[in-house]
Amino acid sequence: MPAAYASDEKRSVLVRSAQQLLYEQGFVRTTLADVAEHAGVPLGNVYYYFKTKEAIAEAVISAREADLRALFATWTAKHRDPRARLRCLVRAPLASADAVVNFGCPYGSLCHELEKLGARAPLAKSSARLLGIYIEFAEQQLRASGIRRREATALSTELIAALQGTALLAHTMRSRALLASQLKRVERWLEAALPARTPA
């Protein structure tokens, strides 16, 4: 049996390979054999860690969730101003614009595809956490900016809907320029929605 660190490392490699494949070619088209080939390991090694494609998809969702929380923690540590954190949220797709144009939002596209498995499908329920984390983070920053809870809840949902819609349009139209221009519009809309700063 491999050493624990080697075992954990190999599992991580498999999850990251599955993460990229699910993003680029989708859940339905991806097989465990694809994951094995992409990771450069024998197919039997995949079955050692993940018995089914659904199991590795669950691991991908968990990895995406961890990535999101780590990203939000970075913004929180870097910026004391919640408005600056919201700007980071709006501008984030620009850091991976080519990928968004080619494959869509890595979080939203995964949720959209897995939802097609049916509302009661465990993967659909699990993937919904991803957009929930987005909305929760946005709501926290809006409340910290001085917006009351009920309005912040509605506004955060509207913000994430605008960002997801922008990613979908940019992907559908295969346009990086559209992505950039629409994100600027979302940022201006958000700035207008925030309360005026209280003078120091």
Structure confidence by residue, pLDDT tens digits, 156-174: 999 999 999 999 999 999 9
Q: What is the pLDDT of residues 81-139, one digit of tens each?
A: 999 999 999 999 999 999 999 999 999 999 999 999 998 899 999 999 999 999 999 99
CA distances to 81, 108, 136, 156, 177 from 150, in Å: 21, 24, 13, 10, 34
Q: What is the pLDDT of residues 55-78, one digit of tens each?
A: 999 999 999 999 999 999 999 999
Q: Is residue 70 part of a domain?
A: yes
Q: Is residue 95 part of a domain?
A: yes
CA distances to 53, 73, 86 from 156, in Å: 33, 18, 10
- Cβ–Cβ under 8 Å, residues 10 and 28: no
Provide the residue range defining the domain that includes 140: 61-193
Q: Is residue 38 part of a domain?
A: yes
How many folded domains does the chain comprise? 2
| Claim to verify: residue 11 and residue 105 sit in the same structural domain | no
- pLDDT, position 8: 85
- pLDDT, position 29: 96
| Claim to verify: residue 15 and residue 66 sit in the same structural domain | no
pLDDT surpasses 60 at 79: yes
pLDDT surpasses 70 at 6: no
- pLDDT, position 33: 97
Q: Is residue 199 part of a domain?
A: no
| Claim to verify: residue 36 and residue 96 sit in the same structural domain | no
| Claim to verify: residue 47 and residue 79 sit in the same structural domain | no
| Claim to verify: residue 119 and residue 179 sit in the same structural domain | yes
- pLDDT, position 4: 42
| Claim to verify: residue 70 and residue 22 sit in the same structural domain | no
- DSSP alpha helices (H): ranges in the chain? 4-25, 32-39, 43-49, 53-78, 82-91, 97-103, 108-115, 122-144, 149-173, 176-193
Length of the chain equals: 200
pTM over 0.85: yes
- pLDDT, position 7: 77
Q: Which two tokens stand for residue 30?
A: 């991806």
| Claim to verify: residue 96 and residue 160 sit in the same structural domain | yes
Higher pLDDT residue, 45 or 183?
A: 183
Q: Is residue 157 part of a domain?
A: yes
